[in-house]
Amino acid sequence: MSVLLSSDTGGVRTLTLNRPHRKNAIDPELWSALRDALTRAADDEVRALVLTGAEGAFCSGADLKAVDTRHPLDKLRALNEVTLLLHELPIPTIAKVDGVAVGAGWNLALGCDLVVATPRSRFAQIFTRRGLSPDCGGTWLLPRLAGPQQAKRLALLADMIDAEEARSLNLVTWVVPGERIDTYVTDLADRLAAGPPVALAQTKALLDEGTGRTLREALTGEARAQAVNFATTDVPEAYAAFAEKREPRFTGRWYRPSEDSSCAKQ
C-alpha cells in the first residue's frame, strides 16, 4: 500500500499521509513521496491542496525508528526540500488535522495556509523531549504566528496543547466537530479552487513576503501584483459576473484584447 495517497476532486488535490500503524510518522519513503507529490502539484492544473493523515491522526512527526543510513545533513536537506515545496506552492493549501500533529508533522501543518482541526486534535513541538531542536521550518513559523514568547514556550518546554489553545495562539484557523471536518474542508477547498488562481497566488506571495518588508516595499509589490492580475481574463469576468448577478468563472488565463492582435500570444 502506498505511504502517500493522492486523490483529485475538481480542482482540489488531497494528499493523505498513510502510515496509520505509526500515526503517520514520516519515514524516508514518505518524505520522498511528499517531495514528488508537491512537485507535481505545482505543475499540474491543481487549484487547491489539502494535506491530511489517515485513520485518526495527522502526523506524529519524523519516524525516528526508521532505518536511514544517510548523514544527518543529507536527511535534513530532504526535509527542507519538502518544507520549501509546501510553503512555496502558488496554490492555497489546507491542513486537515484530526488527532495528533507533533514535531515535523505539526510544522508541516503550520506550513499550510489554513489549518482546520477538531476538538480531539493535539499539538506539540516534541523535539526537545528527543534531545533535538525544531526543524521543518518550526523556528521560522512559530514566532511569526504565535509571537516570540509563545514560540519559545512551545519549543523549549515541548508542551502538548489542544486545538482550542492552538487556535487562541493563531496556530489553528478553525476548530470544527470531528463529524463535520470532511464536509467543512471540502467546502473550503472548493471555494478556494473556484477563486481566481493568479490573484490568489499573488495574494499568498504578498502576505508571505510582507512580514519581511517595509510598507514602501509592500506597496511596490502590491502594484506589481495588481498589474499581473489585470493581465488576466479574471478581472473582466469578475466585473461581468457582478453586473449579471451570477458567480464568476475564473480561469487565470492571460487577457488578450483581440484574437487577431499582432501582439497576441498563447
pLDDT tens figures, 132-158? 999 999 999 999 999 999 999 999 999
pTM for the whole structure = 0.94
Confidence bin at 65 (pLDDT 50/70/90): confident
pLDDT for 24 equals 98
Q: What domains are there in the chain, each with its CATH number?
A: 4-193 (3.90.226.10), 196-266 (1.10.12.10)
Whether the pLDDT of residue 246 is over 50: the answer is: yes
Give the pLDDT mean for 178-182: 98
Q: Which three cell numbers stand for residue 34?
A: 511528499
From CA 193, how far away is CA 220, in angstroms rounded?
27
% of the chain exceeding 70 in pLDDT? 96
| Contact between residue 32 and residue 38 where contact means Cβ atoms under 8 Å apart | no
CA atoms within 13 A on the CB side of 138: 28
pLDDT for 225 equals 97
Q: 14-28, 38-52, 216-230, 248-262 — which is least confidently predicted?
A: 248-262
pLDDT for 257 equals 67
From CA 206, how far away is CA 245, in angstroms rounded?
30
Centroid of chain to Cα 266: 30
185-215 pLDDT, tens per residue?
999 999 999 999 999 999 999 999 998 899 9
109-138 pLDDT, tens per residue?
999 999 999 999 999 999 999 999 999 999
Give the pLDDT mean for 226-239: 96
Q: 6-20, 71-85, 159-173 — which is least confidently predicted?
A: 71-85
Centroid of chain to Cα 52: 10
- Mean pLDDT value across the chain: 94
pLDDT for 72 equals 87
Element (H, E) at 47: none
Query: For residue 198, which of 167, 237, 168 has the smallest C-alpha distance?
Result: 237
